Amino acid sequence: MAPSEILVLLEKDRPDIQWVVDGDGYQYLVEGVGSAFEGLNPVKRQQLVYSVLNPLIADGSLHAVTIRTYTPAEKSAS
């Protein structure tokens, strides 16, 4: 699966988040920046992203995924 395909799914499901997806067909990095992450602990943030990706993981289309999530304030401070 191409990173662009994952990006389309994330943007469709959560257009309120700015997404960046990189990967080589096996291992992917998904980064999201949005106010949707405000007030959520790290587990809840991961669950929000996995709610979109789980069908791809379940059918074997998507393998190793690293997820990084930020609020806009957190991203601007990094």
Extents of the domains making up the chain: 3-77
> Confidence band (pLDDT; 50, 70, 90) for 25?
confident
User: What number is the average pLDDT over the span 30-34?
Assistant: 98
The 10 Å Cβ neighbour count of residue 48 is 19
- Rounded alpha-carbon distances, angstroms, from residue 14 to 10, 45, 60: 6, 13, 22
User: What CATH class is the domain 3-77?
Assistant: alpha beta
pLDDT of 51 above 90? yes
- Whether residue 37 has pLDDT greater than 90: yes
Mean pLDDT value of segment 41-48: 97
Report the share of the chain in percent with pLDDT over 90: 91
Residue 26 is predicted with a pLDDT of: 85
* pLDDT value at residue 78: 80
Beta bridge partners of 19: 32
Q: Three-state DSSP class for 55?
A: helix
pTM of the complete model? 0.91
